Amino acid sequence: MAAAAQTVLISGCSSGIGLELAVRLARDPQKRYLVVATMRDLGKKKTLEEAAGDALGETLTISQMDVCSDESVTQCLGSIQGGEVDVLVNNAGVGLVGPLEGLSLQTMQDIFNTNVFGAVRLVKAVLPSMKRRRRGHIVVVSSVMGLQGVMFNEVYSASKFALEGFFESLAIQLLQFNIHISLVEPGPVVTEFEKKILEQVASTEFLGTDPETLHFFRDCYLPASRQLFTSVGQSPGQVAQAIVKVIGAARPPLRCQTNMRYRLMSALKALDASGSLYVHTAHCLLFRWPRLLSLGLRCLACSCLGSRVQPG
């Protein structure tokens, strides 16, 4: 007798990783999943509807949900048949890049409200049912920036560090309830949204920032960032495929870095417990040896390093 399909709730499905993941799960050949794909603005659902095709209304439904609203989360969960979620994918998130002096505290708080407290809000909503049934899987789309800091991404990185600490701590308790947590950690992901952000910040004034720092941001960081995305960036579909494997794993991993090419860079931190090796190397590559950084990124882009998807 075939097992009943699992209900998978995914946040942030209007585009990118969330959209790709929702479609892949809904089109599972074995029909193992019933996907509830959510987004804050249903006015943006057309792309997902077109991508879902025949799965729409069968193995995939689209619902409105704002992870920053208790009422919205409650309403969304109340609309799920049976009201029970087997797999929660915390994917909704927003980015922020730029010199710290030019960012308002309110802007920083907004990042944490979505990236951190939005994820916490969803977990609090589904945990009672998961604990009662003594089964469940919580997948969190984190980032390699939750493992190592990146210049001019201080606030975004801090939000991902917060996720890493929160969910690693929670994972210990939840094993007692047969509930698994998986932190999926992509590196650079190439999307139209990401391209627009980099274009916008290149011309943003960032009031209150000194000229030297602005020079470092525009003439050192931004060119290196663009090359990083070109050299080692993954598509949303590649990251989504890694998440599909994590969800389908018999023993889900706590952490999964999706990009083998980026692991060479994140390994620097693991080699030195003090953290100095990573900080000094990153500093030298950006400020003293930019040509070496450029050469290294070109080498990482070489196809001989194999697939960019590494499901863990």
Sequence ranges of the binding site for NADP(+): 12-40, 66, 160
Query: How far is it, in rounded angstroms, from Cα 203 to Cα 56?
Result: 41
Query: How far is it, in rounded angstroms, from Cα 52 to Cα 57?
Result: 9
Q: Catalytic pick from 156, 221, 262, 278?
A: 156
| Residue 262 designated active-site | no
Query: How far is it, in rounded angstroms, from Cα 279 to Cα 112?
Result: 24
Contact status, residue 152 vs residue 99, Cβ threshold 8 Å: yes
Backbone angles phi, psi at 141, to 5 degrees: -80, 100
Token reading at 70: 């208790």
The two beta strands, 6-10 and 255-257, are unpaired
* Angle 163-38-145 from CA coordinates, rounded to 5°: 25
* Angle 109-112-113 from CA coordinates, rounded to 5°: 85
Which residues fall in the annotated binding site? 12-40, 66, 143, 160
Beta bridge partners of 145: none
Contact status, residue 8 vs residue 89, Cβ threshold 8 Å: yes
Which residues fall in the annotated binding site for substrate? 143
Token reading at 147: 């493992």
> Could you list the active site residues?
156
